[in-house]
Amino acid sequence: MRIYALQRLVLSFFLALGAALIVFFSLHLAPGDAVLAALGDAGMMTREQVQVKRHELGLDRSLLVQCGDWLAHLARGDLGVSFVNGRPIARDLAATFPRSIELVVAALLIGVLLGIPAGVYSTTHQDRWLDYLLTALSLAAVSVPSFVSGMLVLLLFGLTLRWLPVSGYISFADDPGQHLQLLILPATTLGLIMAATVTRMTRTAMLEVRRSDFVRTARAKGLPERLVLFYHTLKNALLPVVTLTGVEVGSLLGGTVIIEYVFTWPGMSTLLITAAQRRDYPVVQGVVLVTAFFFVLVSLMVDLLNASLDPRIRDGSQ
């Protein structure tokens, strides 16, 4: 198991690096001059100014040399500095990455805490009106784009009812209460989509497990229905749900791009979009590298969690 985990970890690193390299080359092939973008008002700058800046940023070197230089710095644990403002990328990542993860974790919690009970309820009340209602709500939540649902949530709870602050960010250290209030709307918007998916998956998996022989046996032994439902059915139905949840972490991280924009949540997606707009290559590369690494790590954790839930997987990996 340990060797398996270690192998996956090493593979994760190379996967992340591969993703970052793809981004490195595709970014440099994209139209638009990084120097002009970094300088901002480049339309009014002399060619001498532009050339000096190009040299300073190292963009007058060949792409391979630039890539080698970046990898060499990376090997020393140095993600580099922003083209635009010279700030160390690690510093910006250290500030923004936890904010995005916080949003994802909060959304995940909302998704799981709402989705699993709703899925169980749907299973036990199959083909009744509440099951249909939950199915309809799930479909709606999955179908409506997050920029629409986000805006609706903002207008309803922020502007009309004024229950919660509309948008912004205050760090937990500065004001924990305000921080959590500001987290609720974006996390809920993101979490409801997750909840819908989890509901559907839980319902489907449980219905399938309920038809299994061991569930029938459990009932035949006279076990209470609650025990059959939660210990035998739900526990076994959770495997695909856990896998799905792991996969959804990637979707949630992707979903933060819109949600962070709508709710002015200053996470890593905000950093990424801003850097891409400014052709700030080192920042984009840094964000992609960290995101990719995080994603493969989550996949690894899901695998390990599955192994711990299912002895067949655990035994097979040993």
Partner 1 sequence: MRNALGGLQRPTKAIPRRTFFTHAGRLAGGLAIIPLFASRGGALQASAAAVQPKRGGILKFALNTDPPKLDPASSGPTGAIDSVCSMVYSRLVNYKPDVSGVTPDLAEKWDVSPDGKTYTFTLRRGVLWHDGKMLTPDDVKFSFDRLFDPKTAAPFAPSFGKGVQVEAPNAATVRFTLPSPNAAFLPMLAVPQCSIVSKAFVQAGNNLADAMLGTGPFVFRDHQPAVQLRLTRNPKYYMEGKPYLDGITFTFFRDNEARVAALKTKAVDIMDFVPFPDLAGLEANPEMRVYFDKETNFFDFRMHQDREPFGNVKVRQALSCAVDRQAAIKAALVGRGTVVTGGPLWKASWAYSPDVRQNYTYDPDRAKKLLADAGYPNGFKTTILSNTSFAMHQNTAVTVQAGFKAVGVDAELKLYDFPTYNQKFVTGDFDIGVGTVIPSYGDPDFLWSYFNSKSLWGQNLKLHDNEMDGWLDQARASTSQAARKNLYINVQKKLMETVPIVFLMTRDYADAAWAYLKDYIHIPGYSWSGERAQEWWLDK
When the beta carbons of 188 and 202 are compared against partner 1, the nearer one is: 188
Residue 244 corresponds to which tokens in the numbers above?
């799905």
Phi, psi torsion values for 119, nearest 5 degrees: -65, -40
Residue 141 corresponds to which tokens in the numbers above?
């939540």
Residues that bind partner 1 (CB under 8 A): 31-34, 36-37, 39-46, 48-50, 52-53, 56, 84-87, 92, 95-96, 151, 154, 158-159, 162, 165-169, 171, 261-264, 266, 270-271, 274, 277-279
Shortest distance, CB of residue 121 to partner 1, whole angstroms?
A: 35
Task: Please enumerate, as own/partner, the contacts of 301-309 that have beta carbons within 8 Å and a separation of 24 or more.
Answer: 301/246, 302/242, 302/243, 302/245, 302/246, 302/247, 303/8, 304/1, 304/5, 305/242, 305/246, 306/239, 306/242, 306/243, 307/1, 309/235, 309/238, 309/239, 309/242
When the beta carbons of 210 and 278 are compared against partner 1, the nearer one is: 278
Task: With CA atoms as reference, report the closest residue to 293 among 70, 14, 99.
Answer: 14
Shortest distance, CB of residue 185 to partner 1, whole angstroms?
A: 11
Q: Which amino acid is at 200?
A: R
When the beta carbons of 192 and 276 are compared against partner 1, the nearer one is: 276
H or E element that contains 53: helix 47-57
Question: Left if phi > 0, otherwise alpha if psi is -120 to 50, otherwise beta: which for 162?
Answer: left
When the beta carbons of 23 and 307 are compared against partner 1, the nearer one is: 23
Cβ–Cβ under 8 Å, residues 256 and 103: yes
Q: Quickly list H helices, 228-265.
A: 235-262
When the beta carbons of 200 and 279 are compared against partner 1, the nearer one is: 279
Shortest distance, CB of residue 151 to partner 1, whole angstroms?
A: 7
Task: With CA atoms as reference, report the closest residue to 243 among 202, 284, 188, 190.
Answer: 202
Cβ–Cβ under 8 Å, residues 190 and 149: no
When the beta carbons of 19 and 154 are compared against partner 1, the nearer one is: 154
Question: Left if phi > 0, otherwise alpha if psi is -120 to 50, otherwise beta: which for 39?
Answer: alpha
When the beta carbons of 36 and 304 are compared against partner 1, the nearer one is: 36
When the beta carbons of 167 and 317 are compared against partner 1, the nearer one is: 167
Shortest distance, CB of residue 34 to partner 1, whole angstroms?
A: 8
Shortest distance, CB of residue 206 to partner 1, whole angstroms?
A: 40
Shortest distance, CB of residue 253 to partner 1, whole angstroms?
A: 17
Shortest distance, CB of residue 211 to partner 1, whole angstroms?
A: 48
Shortest distance, CB of residue 62 to partner 1, whole angstroms?
A: 20
